[in-house]
Structure 1
Amino acid sequence: MNEAASPEFHSITYEKPGPHIARISLDRPDKRNAQDTRLLYELNEAMDLANADDEVKVIILAANGEHFSSGHDVKEAEPYAAMADHKLVGTWAGIGCCSSSAEAQMTREKEIYLGFSERWRNIAKPTIAQVQGLCISGGLMLVWPCDLIVAGENALFVDNTVDMGICGHEYFVYPWEMGLRQAKEFLFTSGAVDAREAHRLGMVNHVVANERLAEFTLELAANIARKPMFALKMVKEALNAAQDAQGRVSAMQTAFALHQVCHSHNLIKYGLLVDPSGLAHLKTPPQADQARMP
């Protein structure tokens, strides 16, 4: 593959830090790596780039700055119009994407939220999320599709969607990430889980000191990259199929439909996609001492 042909990115960085390894990093640190439309399309393009590169066996998803991601960029101007600047890849492509309506919202979320997360989950090569600081709601939609998660000691996983009057984010895999009862408490309380608790729940593979986070993740990727590529692809497909046999896909589709009902309810009742009574809780990011079950 000719690296000179790599596209120019604005909201992410793309590099090869070691043999057979690609590292994609979110690069909006001044915005706590909030995900606007351009960032998500660039991330998808970078994932495709790494997947198509025969020299790459393992993909690391990281983030520059103090925090991994504060979630969706709710302050993005003209989010529907922004989609017109990008090639839509989903089956709903082009349907009502540039007007403010329930159809437009569903199109956007099916494309760049649920659609991209599921696409990254099913990418052929092993992926590792490298997480530090806050990882809020939409941030979970980036790390949960990854095959492995390495967390820095200060990582805090947060979901505030129910505070906003929404029944979880669009990539609804909570029961598979933390178990059903823990997922219920996490969502009912708009909870926060610190790195150690996330490890106990089986949501992350390793917790390491923040100063060793990048080094440790790279070492893990290098270990995996020594394995035959075809075997890695096949074992990933087999494991994903086992999870899907448990009903993940149908459950996620049902949850996505209910998510859209929540948006429509809020639009009718408040004129907003979310319940405004919960917005006050979003002004100050949760701190580590508020983590659930420390």
Structure 2
Amino acid sequence: MKEDGGEVEYQRRGPVALVTMNRPRYRNAQNSAMTYALDDAFTRAVDDQDVAVIVLAGAGEHFSAGHDIGTPERDADTSFPRRAVQWWDHTPRAGADRRYAREMEVYLGMCRRWREMPKPAIAMVQGACIAGGLMLAWVCDLIVAAEDAFFADPVLRMGIPGVEYFAHPWVLGPRIAKEVLFTGERFGARRAYEIGMVNKVVPRDELESTTLALAGKVAGMPAFGLALAKRAVNLCEDQMGMRSGMDSVFGLHHVAHSHNAEVSADPLGGLDAAAMKRAAKEAAQ
């Protein structure tokens, strides 16, 4: 079964639901429409008793370039139904109130909601997995990366201490997390494997087959056992401070936005998508 169109495609591959971000023209940059389409697809997969494992993919050359901060389809001013947090609509609000309300729902809240899905999720990553793209991969339980995959959280260039779903110290370890944030530099799939962030690294032409084979192996385990094992590991991460740490850093994230707005009249510190891309190229030289 395959359903095309829109920001997200949904396919069934036996016991596997393949959920594909479908904005390849913009390297699958995440606007709010995509966020809610992903949530619809994940909910559908969770409710389908014949689905045992969910695979998250990105159409085209890249997994995800992060948050949509400048495409013609950016919809930050659009109201969507709130599902992740019980908070007011951001659209009639102003200043920090507006940004905090939106980002608590569509970024931090949604990522936490997806992390807690009772079915195992596997990210299938190729090309760019940048900033907000990291969040989408990190909420998955396993990550399979193509050899051409690269990762980065460069938002410190905006004066912001990391993306909203601040899992860095738990996913990367404190010292690598600091290096990734302090430099904003990309790191490749092989290093991601060496530090334990991804489970497998394979040639690009083997990415889908390897990911689906892994998903099939996981799907053979008892569904309730998988749900309990997933919850057990997540609870232990939270006991190690992950959830409370995210809450604290989310506040710092918005202090940075507010500071930028005060000193430059731009919550992103004057850096749009093109400027961030130029900075990344300069840092690589």
1:96 Cα deviation (Å)?
Answer: 3.4
Matched, 1:15 2:11: yes
Identity rate of aligned residues, in percent? 40
Matched, 1:108 2:102: yes
Matched with 1:261 is 255
Secondary structure in structure 2 of the residue aligned to 1:79: coil
Give the number of equivalent residue pairs.
Answer: 283
1:168 Cα deviation (Å)?
Answer: 0.4
Matched with 1:244 is 238
CA distance, structure 2, for counterparts of residue 145 and residue 166 of structure 1: 21
Alignment of structure 1 residues 213-292 onto 2, 5 Å = 213-276=207-270, 281-284=275-278, 286=280, 290=284
Where structure 2 has 5 or more consecutive residues not aligned to the other structure, the ranges are none
1:132 Cα deviation (Å)?
Answer: 0.2
Matched with 2:83 is 89
1:43 to 21, 38, 45: 38
Q: Which amino acid aligns with 2:237?
A: Q
CA distance, structure 2, for counterparts of residue 216 and residue 165 of structure 1: 38
1:170 Cα deviation (Å)?
Answer: 0.2
1:282 Cα deviation (Å)?
Answer: 1.2
Residue deviations 1:44-93 (CA, integer Å, cap 9, x gap): 111111111111110000011001111111015673432x2x21113343
Answer with 270-279 or 187-196: which moved more: 270-279
Q: Which amino acid aligns with 2:37?
A: E
1:140 to 134, 144, 155: 134
Shift >6 Å, 4+ stretches: 277-280
- Asked if the contact 2:26–2:71 (Cα under 8 Å) also holds between the matched residues in 1, the reply is no
**In angstroms, what is the RMSD of aligned CA positions?**
2.2
1:165 Cα deviation (Å)?
Answer: 1.2
CA distance, structure 2, for counterparts of residue 200 and residue 227 of structure 1: 27
| Shift in alpha-carbon separation, 1:285–1:32, aligned structure 2, 3 A | farther
- Asked if the contact 1:97–1:107 (Cα under 8 Å) also holds between the matched residues in 2, the reply is no
Q: Which amino acid aligns with 2:24?
A: P
Q: TM-score, normalised by structure 1?
A: 0.91
1:279 Cα deviation (Å)?
Answer: 6.8
1:184 Cα deviation (Å)?
Answer: 0.5
CA distance, structure 2, for counterparts of residue 190 and residue 64 of structure 1: 25
Secondary structure in structure 1 of the residue aligned to 2:129: strand
Secondary structure in structure 1 of the residue aligned to 2:122: strand
- Asked if the contact 1:92–1:110 (Cα under 8 Å) also holds between the matched residues in 2, the reply is no
Matched, 1:52 2:37: no
- Asked if the contact 1:162–1:168 (Cα under 8 Å) also holds between the matched residues in 2, the reply is yes
Matched with 2:120 is 126
1:173 to 157, 167, 170: 167
| Shift in alpha-carbon separation, 1:43–1:152, aligned structure 2, 3 A | same
1:190 Cα deviation (Å)?
Answer: 0.8
Q: TM-score, normalised by structure 2?
A: 0.93
Q: Which amino acid aligns with 1:147?
A: D
Residue deviations 1:205-225 (CA, integer Å, cap 9, x gap): 000000000000000000000
2:154 to 153, 160, 164: 160
1:286 Cα deviation (Å)?
Answer: 4.5
1:201 Cα deviation (Å)?
Answer: 0.4
CA distance, structure 1, for counterparts of residue 229 and residue 48 of structure 2: 19
